[in-house]
Homo-oligomer: A and B are copies of this chain.
Amino acid sequence: MKKQMNDFVEKVITFLGFLWRAVWKVGREDPRRVIHSLKVGTALTLVSLLYLMEPLFKGTGENAMWAVMTVVVVLEFTAGATLSKGLNRGLGTLLAGSLAFFIEYISDASGSIFQAVFVGAAVFLIGSAATYMRFFPLIKKNYDYGVLIFLLTFNLITVSSYRVENVLKIARDRFYTIVIGCGICLLMSLLVFPNWSGEDLHNSTIFKLESLAQCVESCVNEYFGTAELEATKYNSSEDPIYEGYKTVLDSKSIDETLALQASWEPRYSRCCHRYPWQQYIKVGATLRQFGYSVVALRGCLQTEIQTPRPIRALFKDSCIRLGKEVSKVLKELSDSIRNNHHFSPGVLSDQIQEALQDLNSAIKSQPRLFLGSKYSQTAKIVQESAVHLEEKHEGDSGVLSPSTEANSATVLGLKTRSTSGEQPKEGEQKVLRPQLSKIASTSLEFSEALPFAAFASLLVEMVAKLDHVIEEVEELGRMAHFKEFRDGDEIVLNCETPRIDVIQNNLPSHATD
């Protein structure tokens, strides 16, 4: 009996410890969540005073419940979301009240049966029309909540008007209490430790630029890195490269939500210009495009048929340099957004140019891996040498080194490890592999230089996409009136500010009542 009791107590303690760690983790990920929770608690207590304090209750009466409801529903995590919901709610209530009053005015003149039929028909028509309106993209994007509140208020007022006499007074009282509720919400969200959607968007853009910079650098480094690490590094849940571009690729919907909310926020940049939140979405779109290149580049790391290390080593320095330069430009861009400074293109693009030229001359200085057959005369010579090579290779094939044999057992890139994070399950039927492994041995020469060609080509294309990113960030700088960059200014690489990964920050969804 005592032992059972002890077991039970132990279990409870374990469970409490687990719970505490979960609670702690959620709070530590973003301390603003704790503040937000306390803000909601305070707002609810404030609005409860409408009931609890005698003089206030005399003013509002039972209608105070609408204020309570408004606070629960409208107070969102960021100021923009709260404003958008509050204004939508106010507007929807006002419109619905007017329309309901109009309908009551018409139906009131007639008899009871006719009034009932009229009210029923009005409810059906307005209900269907309002619901249909919610499918319009423009209304859905900005005023969906307003239309819903319109529908709700309209129904409540119209229907109760059949039983209650003074509908105008009901509507007015309800509107007042909703205004009180909205007022408390706006007070709490705009003045007490406000969270700005715009700030989140700004930070997430900086964060995305930085993670892409890291991604590119580690991709290139890994490609020329040591082989021993390969076995462990594809545990995709901890893979920093995967984590880096994943946040970028999945950022579309969260960016758009944040930009929409931010557009409701009354914040102005220097010189009283509105922040160009839509431009952040464009920057995000070019970053996603850039991200697709990073994914493709990472694909090069993962195909099993790799260009042999000796060949890769020939281009190691220049490729790593190019990767570093690209990553430097991205870091520079993120810094320019963080400090509201214009981007200084001169120095960096010179360096990228040098790096490109470096890679170019590295490739040119090597035995031609990549020859065009355009020059028919030389092509003939190349062909001869190719025949030579073939013979040489066939001669070799009897004494394949173990590593080459291992290579030929793999398939034509078919054993790429899963990029999507799902590891292919062992022991399952692989559809294409058995057949394809036959080809592998015959296609060895073909596939050997190919992966490096793809790698280099993708690297160059990445530089091209970088150009688009720079363009959009410059456009952002122009629109947001960033400070001009003067030649004398020092570029301060300030990476110390804590980076809040807002994409990980679970904003409450809009499921509300």
Contacts and interface: CB of A to CB of B under 8 A. Distances in A.
B368 A371 contact: yes
Contact of A464 (B49, B162, B415, B464): B415
Interface stretch (A130-138, A202-210, A212-220, A494-502): A130-138
B450 A360 contact: no
A431 interface: yes
A253 to B, nearest CB: 5
Nearest to A303: B461
20 contacts: A40-B131, A41-B124, A41-B131, A44-B123, A45-B120, A48-B120, A52-B119, A52-B120, A65-B156, A137-B506, A285-B421, A308-B374, A345-B432, A370-B450, A371-B371, A375-B392, A378-B392, A413-B457, A416-B465, A420-B468
Q: Which 5 A-B pairs have the closest CB atoms?
A: A453-B453, A41-B128, A454-B457, A296-B296, A145-B511
A381 interface: yes
A207 to B, nearest CB: 19
Nearest to A57: B163
Interface stretch (A7-15, A422-430, A481-489): A422-430
A83 to B, nearest CB: 14
Contacts of A368: 371, 382-383, 385-386, 389
Given A44-B127, A467-B432, A68 B155 contact: yes
Contacts of A379: 367
A94 interface: no
Interface in A386-405: 386, 388-389, 392-393, 396
Nearest to A75: B131
Interface stretch (A222-230, A264-272, A287-295): A287-295
A16 interface: no
A413 to B, nearest CB: 5
B415 A448 contact: no
A98 interface: no
Given A48-B159, A64-B159, A413-B460, 19 more contacts: A44-B127, A52-B119, A293-B299, A311-B374, A345-B431, A345-B432, A360-B446, A364-B446, A367-B383, A368-B385, A371-B445, A372-B445, A413-B461, A413-B463, A414-B463, A415-B464, A419-B465, A432-B463, A449-B453
B453 A450 contact: yes
A420 B289 contact: yes
A372 B511 contact: no
Interface residues of A: mostly helix, strand, loop or mixed? Answer: helix
A261 B229 CA distance: 42
Given A69-B152, A127-B40, A435-B349, A388 B383 contact: no
A192 interface: no
A85 interface: yes
A378 B388 contact: yes
A393 B470 CA distance: 35
B464 A453 contact: no
A33 interface: yes
Contacts of A40: 127-128, 131
A131 B471 CA distance: 41
A369 B367 contact: no
A382 B292 CA distance: 35
Contacts of A373: 310-311, 314, 366-367, 369
